[in-house]
Amino acid sequence: MAGTARTTQVRARQRARTRLADTLTAQREREKANEDDLAAFFALDDQITSAAAARDAALADVARTHDAATADAHQAQQNCVHQLHARGLKVDDITTLTGWTTTEVRKALRARPTTTNGDTGDVTGDGDVVEAVGTGAVEGSGA
């Protein structure tokens, strides 16, 4: 019976080792899967950061373009106010026609006009010369 007890003990240890090996193999597979998922997660995190940086750069470009376009348009408006005033319209007339406040019109008149379009009076850039009504009457108002 001593041999049977020894055989039983050896088989028990073999079964225990097999089960532990299976458990360790399953644990290694889970850890490998966890590592793969975490690597993918961090790669996607880097992708999100990169996309945010690209978005910020694009928005900055759009903001610069917008700022330049509005500055150009505002300068062109000031030039129009200068031309209206040069043709004899008073500040009050210009405020009535443009909808600007007296302060805005006076500020525009204090600013230096530009002549980037060859000083042809074409402030819109479309080839049509913009003319102001010298009487202060608005076209179509019946005056």
Report the pLDDT value the prediction gives residue 17, as an integer from 0 to 100: 95
Domain ranges across the chain: 69-136
- Residue 128 scores a pLDDT above 50: no
Residue 133, SS3? coil
- C-alpha 143: how far from chain center: 47
Kindly report the average pLDDT of the chain as a whole number: 84
Q: What is the pLDDT of residues 17-35, one digit of tens each?
A: 999 999 999 999 999 999 9
- Residue 121 scores a pLDDT above 90: no
Residues of the chain with pLDDT > 90: what percent?
Answer: 73
pTM (2 d.p.): 0.54
Indicate if the alpha-carbon torsion angle 131, 132, 138, 143 is positive or negative.
negative
Exposed / middle / buried, residue 100 (Cβ in 10 Å: 0-12, 13-18, 19+): middle
**Reported confidence tier of residue 116, pLDDT bands at 50, 70, 90:** low
7-11, 25-29, 127-131: least confident range: 127-131
